[in-house]
Amino acid sequence: MHQSTRKPSKSGSGRVGQVRIIGGRWKGRRIKFMESAGLRPTLDRVRETLFNWLMYDIEGARCLDLFAGSAALGIEALSRGAKEVVFVEKNRKASDNIHNNLRELEFSNARVFNTSAEVVAKKNEQPYNIIFIDPPFYQEYLDNILVLINNSRFVQQGTQIYVERERHSDPVSFPDNWELTKEKQVGGLEFYLLEVTQLPTEGEEA
């Protein structure tokens, strides 16, 4: 879920925040989201770097925005020509807000699921070209999710996976069949772009 870089408070503020779309059809347009505990849109400069990395791959791509939060990553992808984006957000208010933003921007090539990433991991059937993974900070979601999606229901050879997490000393462990192609650190964040070089064997799949 897209959150602030500071450690989340125990309760949300209930205020309305805004995120600027930085490229594509809706460049400069601002989308609204309800501020709550832990919710943080990915920083403009981080999104700019990410979509520079994906410059030649986003057009026509089928994308998954897991832990969507404000949906800044998925909506940026739609603005830049993604064929379809599936948003997964467990928080009901955040999920409803994604629906509202998609309607205002007149995007019809998107779906929103108000459920957990773990539930989606068990039900997904069609692999994606690009997957955005930005789980809640200070919680142990990441390792489990990487294992859960490393199968032919989610990824195919050439699938690109973006991972964002809080910066700390513990190394992140990626599946052996994923190649790290880009990485960068900004303030308290570190983020990566990986590519699936081959599908896991049946025994390795979750």
How many domains does the chain fold into? 1
- Residue 90 located in a structural domain: yes
Note down the domain range covering 140.
Answer: 16-196
Residue 180: the pLDDT is: 97
Q: Is residue 206 part of a domain?
A: no
Residue 43 belongs to some domain of the structure: yes
- Tokens standing for 49? 């770097």
User: pLDDT at position 37, please?
Assistant: 54
Residue 73 in domain? yes
Q: Which residues of the chain have pLDDT under 70?
A: 1-14, 34-41, 138-139, 169, 201-206
Q: Is residue 10 part of a domain?
A: no
Task: Spell out a b/e string for 10-49, using b for 16 or more CB atoms within 10 Å of the CB, else e.
Answer: eeeeeeebebebbbbebeebebebbbbebbbbbbeebbeb
Q: 77 in a domain, yes or no?
A: yes
The closest of 144, 137, 36, 43 to 91, measured between CA atoms, is 36
CATH of the domain at 180: 3.40.50.150
Q: Within a domain: residue 9?
A: no
Answer yes or no: are the C-beta atoms of 196 and 161 closer than 8 Å: yes
Q: What is the pLDDT of residue 5?
A: 30
The answer to whether residue 11 is domain-embedded is no
Per-residue pLDDT, 2: 37
pLDDT at 64: 97
